[in-house]
Amino acid sequence: MTRMKIGISAGLALVGMLLMFFSAPYSSFFLIILGAILAGIGLFGLSIVTIKYNELDWRE
């Protein structure tokens, strides 16, 4: 379960960062803002999972 939460959060952060990176040359502010929101949610989720499970048991 913990690995799934980490994977989802990291995936959201990666998708958001890639969306910001690839939409910047086209000056699409909507996509840049959407990417920033997705990256923020993903990084916030990663920090919550890390704080909540500071001793991760990878054998679960």
Predicted confidence at residue 1, as pLDDT, reads 67
Question: pTM score, two decimals?
Answer: 0.69
Q: Residue 1 and residue 38: Cα distance in Å, rounded? A: 21
Q: Which residue has the higher pLDDT, 60 or 10?
A: 10
Q: Domains of the chain: which residue ranges?
A: 2-52
Measured between its terminal Cα atoms, the distance across the chain in Å is 8
pLDDT, greater one: 9 or 27: 9
Residue-wise pLDDT for 20-52, tens only, equals 888 878 777 888 888 888 888 888 888 888 777
